[in-house]
């Protein structure tokens, strides 16, 4: 949903001849406006716009002080950008299993994965469904751990009346092209904690906090957002509730029809309002092929379908097999402070990936296209081998 609103905001930036965000007490820029409106929307004291979703997660991990030898519990079904920031801070990612019917981190598996070096839990609100932040929060509080939310798929989702991004110590959002709202590339972090916010601000701007002083502080990077990115996403933010309403309305249309065909819908946790970023359905037991084979049957009917993250657990990614780095130092894998535990497989996830089918969702779908999806899946189910 990109149109005249985004063009208007971008034109204002171009006419201003100020494509960079200047800081100071008199600053009146698109980035400032976006941060203020986003913090209000999420319900947090602070929001900080950054250059990408990966930068946002890196901000979250760094702002919580994760360092060499310290472990962060991560989900085994996620994009690599949820894990690399932990490694780039010198930390050690540790995988915990998921709940089968939500694909989100299982709090009991998280509890069992915690060790003496664990410093944080990093749940992903996977494909728009909030993780069980109530139970994860209880574990984090009991073990004195940071709770870092990856909300990249879940702009506008909520749990018990609070938006994701306001449920942990810091929330990390992506604004990449395929996300719920977008600036092409971009990200944002949200927090109520003044100290974490100050760390994030400094980390994203070479150690400076230009909002309060001009003196450089600790080591930082350049993760600043440009005014052009901010202009686009400011217009997008003002459409967010409408976008969420459309994709959830699509889900309300598809879900009962898929259930009538025999597919199993993803569980919506009590008290949560998910965003149906993509549609996930589980194959019933009587379908005797796996999700990958079934998706091929659906694609033969002209309907895009795929396995969740290609049906591959994150711990099967090459980075954990080769431990390759761009430079020859090999860090953090070679850091003497790091003791990488042997990766424990996650059997619940591996089972779920064999049965979970992902179908796309879009604000642009018409009723005809939604019915085409249903018809394509119906044909695939008829062609799929079955057994008792």
Query: Which residues are marked as active site?
Result: 179
> How many CA atoms lie within 13 Å of 376's alpha carbon, on the beta-carbon side?
20
Distance CA 61, CA 121 (A): 10
Residues 6+ apart with CB under 8 A from 160: 134, 271, 272
Category of 309 on φ-ψ map: left (φ > 0), alpha (ψ -120 to 50) or beta: left
Is the separation of the CB atoms in 167 and 31 below 8 Å?
no
Distance CA 258, CA 284 (A): 11
Is the separation of the CB atoms in 251 and 350 below 8 Å?
no
Distance CA 187, CA 77 (A): 21
Is the separation of the CB atoms in 155 and 22 below 8 Å?
no
Distance CA 153, CA 243 (A): 13
- Residue 327 CA to chain centroid, in angstroms? 28
Ordered DSSP codes for 334-358: T-TT--PPPPPP-HHHHHHHHHEEE
Distance CA 178, CA 46 (A): 25
Category of 357 on φ-ψ map: left (φ > 0), alpha (ψ -120 to 50) or beta: beta
Residues in the chain: 388
HEC readout, 127-191 = HHCCCCHHHHHHHHHHHCCEEEEECCCCCCCEECCEECCCCCCEEEEECECCCCCCCECCEEEEE
């Amino acid at each position: 949903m990109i149109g005249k609103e985004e063009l208007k905001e971008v034109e204002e930036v171009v006419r201003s001849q100020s494509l960079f965000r200047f800081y100071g007490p008199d600053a009146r820029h698109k980035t400032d406006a976006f941060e203020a409106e986003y913090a209000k929307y999420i319900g947090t004291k602070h929001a900080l716009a950054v250059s990408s979703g990966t930068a946002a997660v890196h901000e979250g991990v760094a702002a919580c002080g994760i360092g060499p030898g310290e472990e962060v519990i991560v989900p085994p079904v996620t994009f690599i950008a949820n894990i690399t920031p932990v490694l780039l801070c010198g930390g050690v990612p540790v995988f915990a299993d998921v709940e089968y019917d939500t694909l989100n981190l299982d709090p009991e598996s998280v509890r069992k994965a915690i060790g003496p070096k664990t410093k944080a839990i990093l749940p992903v609100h996977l494909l728009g469904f909030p993780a069980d932040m109530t139970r994860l929060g209880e574990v984090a509080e009991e073990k004195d751990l940071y709770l870092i939310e990856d909300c990249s798929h879940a702009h506008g989702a909520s749990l018990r009346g609070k938006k994701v991004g306001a449920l942990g110590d810091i929330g990390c959002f992506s604004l990449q092209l395929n996300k719920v709202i977008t600036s092409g590339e971009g990200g944002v972090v949200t927090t109520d904690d003044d100290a974490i916010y100050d760390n994030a601000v400094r980390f994203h701007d070479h150690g400076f906090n230009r909002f309060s002083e001009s003196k450089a502080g600790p080591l930082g990077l350049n993760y600043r957002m440009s005014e052009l990115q901010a202009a686009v996403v400011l217009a997008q933010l003002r459409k967010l509730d409408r976008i969420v309403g459309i994709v959830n309305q699509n889900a309300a249309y598809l879900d009962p029809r898929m259930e009538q065909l025999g597919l199993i819908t993803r569980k919506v946790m009590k008290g949560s309002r998910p965003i149906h970023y993509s549609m996930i359905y589980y194959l019933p037991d009587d379908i005797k092929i796996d999700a990958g084979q079934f998706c091929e049957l659906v694609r033969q009917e002209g309907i895009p379908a795929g396995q969740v993250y290609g049906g591959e657990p994150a711990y099967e990614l090459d980075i954990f097999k080769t431990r390759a780095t761009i430079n020859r130092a090999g860090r953090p894998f070679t850091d003497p402070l790091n003791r990488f535990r042997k990766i424990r497989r996650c059997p619940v996830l591996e089972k779920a990936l064999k049965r979970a089918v992902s179908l796309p969702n879009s604000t642009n779908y018409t009723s005809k296209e939604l019915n085409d999806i249903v018809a394509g899946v119906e044909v695939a189910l008829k062609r799929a081998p079955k057994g008792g």
